Structure 1
Amino acid sequence: MGLCPPEDLPNWVPGRVLLASDGLGWKDVALRSYHYHGQDVIVPAMRDFMLVGYQMGETPMRRRFEGRWSRDRLGPGAASLLTRAQQAHWTWEEPIDVTHVYLSAALVADVAGEALDCHVSDVRLADVLRAEDPVMSQAMRAIVEEAQHQALGGPLYVDWLSRGLIVHLLRRYAQIDFAPVQAAGLGPAKKRQIADFVEAHLADPLTLAEMAQAVGMTPCVFSRLFRLSFGQPPYAYVIARRIEAARRLLTGSALPIKEIAATCGFTDQAHLTRLFVRVHGKAPAAYRKAAG
């Protein structure tokens, strides 16, 4: 049996859904709130990391994780952590309202890689049945409020909240396995791949994240390896390639300079002129005239 996605959890742990983030456009983060009666259930190995916040009601709780039972009394203000891909046995007696926040493995690994400047192979959350953690509770409460009210920029806001929450979890509750990045720069294949990607997207507003994603890396790791390989930061490289593309069009075409600026990814003709003069000592019009 595969790992259980959040929406399938009621098949194992029946409850009434009070709130869900389905259809809100969130990426790598999900929220579901439930009303539960007392139960004795097996929570299957989940696809995502799961945080449980206790909203209403109070109950004795027992959980068996990796063969060990833990016991506590849980109510509003408390939270539990459950790592992904690990089955657990839960039993409680009284009705409770809880909120589940799910964080994808990809998002957690991405944040861990950026925080540690490394390639992360695995992250595990500690087995914590009861955490009194104001930072975690506040972040979960803010995510709940966004699901309820759906304000401007919701997906971006939730991504920002979740990344901060993940950094907190990594600091306090996580075990991380990683392999240090070698300081040899990008390999030949990835170097060609990113060079081709940049040439194909010069007209686009390229971001560091997009360039890193093109070669399957986190932005911080990509930026360091790029500098080792190309001898300059990614942004400086992109500008240099745009100026070179503009130079070729100035000497090899009759396109208006304004159109050349747009084709090569400059914000406007003045932007092209300012950077072109810095490199070639002449404005584009003067350069074209001298070359002709």
Structure 2
Amino acid sequence: MPTLITPRDLPTWVPGQIVSASDGLGWKDVGHRAYLYTGLDVPIPAMDHYMVVRYRSGQTPMDRRVEGRWTRKRCTPGDFSLLTRSEQSHWHWTECINVSHTYLSDALMTRVATDITDRPVSEVRLHDILQAQDSVVTGIVDAITTEAEHRGLGGSLYAESLAIQLAVHLFRKYALINFRNDVPVGPLSSSRMRRLDEYLDTHLHEGVTIEQMAETVGLGVWTFSRHFRATKGLSPYDYVTRCRLERAVRLLSTGTQAIKEVAAMCGFADQAHLTRTMRGRMGITPARLRKEGRG
């Protein structure tokens, strides 16, 4: 399974000026960074933390794609966005903004979900929220930001207690908890897998979602995800990315299309997205691959 990026990796994909950060403070399971951003158009790989974005100053039209769906809102000071763990996204905004990020670890979210439900938890997902206002969310996030900036006595314990409060509130209003099922999960049948591969081959250039994949084989999303992982040993998202890369390799090795055309034919957001993904997963760029294939 491909490695998820960490919050510290984020500036590689979303360049901006770091205003404040909790780096080096010894916090556990929660992190903070504040950024000044100019307008950007950036695909972001899946991250290993849950993220709350709090808009502090500046306002901008904001477009975001999650699970193949684009959403457009206008984000202003006082708003927040949520991005669940292990979810690829694409963000586009045009104006300068000052934002704070709060990162919650999978361990924290799973532990809190287990404690409040008294059931074994298999997965937690935040809702796809690009723009909302909630004084509880922004109040806790602001308190975490203040702690990172002023570093009071007992800071690590204080930050963790705030993170737990934030997690509980998110579970009440903005999250879905999937519970562990101890019944063994078998692989998808060969006919279902064949039907899915045919669907992907036809629609790979589009924004394929897990809902569409599950519908193709006649299963619910959660059931499909469990059976798919039992079949392939990786998530549906990772499988789609692998299929896109395999198609890109074939086209680059044998075709004459420009690299940006190959990116579009394989479902990548743009040439830069293809290059970053190929370099990260295969250790080579499209241009280098094409050169070696023709050499």
Give the counterpart letter for 2:10 in structure 1.
L
2:139 paired with 1:138: yes
CA–CA separation in structure 2 for the residues paired with 1:54 and 1:86: 21
Q: What is the aligned-residue RMSD (CA, Å)?
A: 1.1
- What is the aligned partner in structure 2 of residue 57 from structure 1? 58
CA–CA separation in structure 1 for the residues paired with 2:149 and 2:15: 22
- What is the aligned partner in structure 1 of residue 174 from structure 2? 173
Gaps of 5+ in 2: 183-295
- What is the aligned partner in structure 1 of residue 27 from structure 2? 26
CA–CA separation in structure 1 for the residues paired with 2:73 and 2:141: 21
CA–CA separation in structure 1 for the residues paired with 2:143 and 2:124: 24
Give the counterpart letter for 1:139 in structure 2.
I
- What is the aligned partner in structure 1 of residue 91 from structure 2? 90
Equivalent positions of 1:127-276 (< 5 A) are: 127-179=128-180
SS of equivalent residue, structure 1 residue 155: helix
Q: Percent identity?
A: 53
Deviations 1:72-100 (A, max 9, x none): 11011000000010100100000001100
SS of equivalent residue, structure 1 residue 45: coil
SS of equivalent residue, structure 1 residue 176: strand
SS of equivalent residue, structure 2 residue 131: strand
Aligned residues: 181
Give the counterpart letter for 1:69 in structure 2.
W
Deviations 1:49-89 (A, max 9, x none): 00000011000000011111111110110000000101001
SS of equivalent residue, structure 1 residue 34: strand
Give the counterpart letter for 1:42 in structure 2.
P
Shift of 1:118: 1.1
CA–CA separation in structure 2 for the residues paired with 1:21 and 1:38: 25
Gaps of 5+ in 1: 182-292
CA–CA separation in structure 1 for the residues paired with 2:181 and 2:148: 38
Shift of 1:180: 7.7
Q: Which stretches of structure 1, 4 residues or longer, exceed 6 Å deviation after superposition? A: none
CA–CA separation in structure 2 for the residues paired with 1:94 and 1:114: 41
TM-score of the aligned structures, taking structure 2 as reference length: 0.60
- What is the aligned partner in structure 2 of residue 111 from structure 1? 112
SS of equivalent residue, structure 1 residue 162: helix
Give the counterpart letter for 1:91 in structure 2.
H
- What is the aligned partner in structure 1 of residue 215 from structure 2? none
Shift of 1:179: 3.3
Structure label with greater radius of gyration: 1
